[in-house]
Amino acid sequence: MKGKLLLLTGILSLLVAGCNKKPDQGADPSLTTAHASEDTTKSPVLEEVFSDSTYQLTGVAVSPDGRLFTNYPYWLEHHAASVVEIREGKPLPYPDTGWNSFQKGDQGSDTFVCVQAVVADDKGYLWIVDAAGIGLGPVYKKANKVVKVRLSDNSIERIYRFPEQVVGTDSYLNDIRVDNTNGYAYMTSSSNGGIVVLNIVSGESRFVLHDSPSVKSDPSYHFTFNGKEFAMADGSIPKIHSDGIALSPDKAWLYYKPLTDDKLYRVETKLLRDFATPLKTIAGNVQDLGHFVTTDGMVFDKAGNLYFGDLERSSIVKITPDLEMHTLITDPENLIWPDSYSVSQDGYLYISLSQIQLMPWFNNNVDKTEKPYRIVRLKI
């Protein structure tokens, strides 16, 4: 059993492929190499901030005033609320019980069906991504949507829906980043690969990079845990495409990567924001930043450091603005599939631990998850 406070003093260095120069420094980023150096400046401490012994969680969001949110995707039959706010250690349906009342057979247009991510922005809103893909299946009754909630009074500000040519029944919306300065949001589709660009003022949306190799998981990469390749119960090898996404602090660059390989890419947001930009132009301007580690989510801090969870090595890594990678902490006992991230105003990295590799889907239909599911934080 793990206690409420997990003190971790060992820092393990590891060697991985990556980059050591910015692309604008004249180097070909696809040919550069780097390593994860050892951070010896402090002893890392993981603090548990929430645990749930029943339901599997994925997302985490901390608002500027310190409110904590998480979500429970409708993946397995055992499911209740989709989005909750954590108050005094207890999950309370958010924004209310009505939005969390979905049952199979319902229409699902004005309730949460299968929520994949929650993100708190800098303007007092919580953005909720409802992929509506129960069990990672097809979109349920065209119920996929993004819900924008005003945190000051917990009211629905707006519901964004998508035409089928942008987000079809095979699109599983995964994560979102919001640019309130320019009025856009960006989402990954992890099932079929691609980026959804949403004008949050007009509601217009566009699907880009679907034909780019950058959004597709490299079939030659072997995503492994304890020497065994990640596989479904029937032996097939799942390839999870564009998943993690991050917006640079100056909002000029969108970073993204497939989940089941170690490559990282970025593209200028000015190309994405102009819906007249040809799709080929966008694809032709993607920058390949090289090899790093496999991660699910990712997030920037205000200083321009990018945080990953190294899934295969149970680590948290920091990639500095010069693209040097540093391992902050390695903990195989506790960092079981670090999933999503949120950086608080007081300088903590919040991490959800979803234990996906221990689900029945990937273990001959045997549930090997080690309850409770957790949210922890790390001072950065």
Q: What is the pLDDT of residue 41?
A: 56
Q: Going by CATH, does the domain composed of 5-379 fall within 2.120.10.30?
A: yes
CB-based contacts of 250: which residues, under 8 Å, 6+ apart?
none
Is the CB of residue 71 less than 8 Å from the CB of residue 59?
Answer: yes
pLDDT tens-place string over residues 235-282: 999 999 999 999 999 999 999 999 999 999 999 999 999 999 999 999
Structure tokens at 188: 């990954």
Does the predicted model carry a pTM greater than 0.85? Answer: yes
Which string of DSSP letters, residue by residue, matches 36-100? EEE--SS--EEEEEEEESSS----EEE-TT--EEEE--S-SS----SEEEEETTEEEESS-TTTT
Q: What is the pLDDT of residue 70?
A: 98
Structure tokens at 127: 């953005």
Distance CA 305, CA 295 (A): 15
Low-confidence ranges of the chain (pLDDT < 70): 1-43
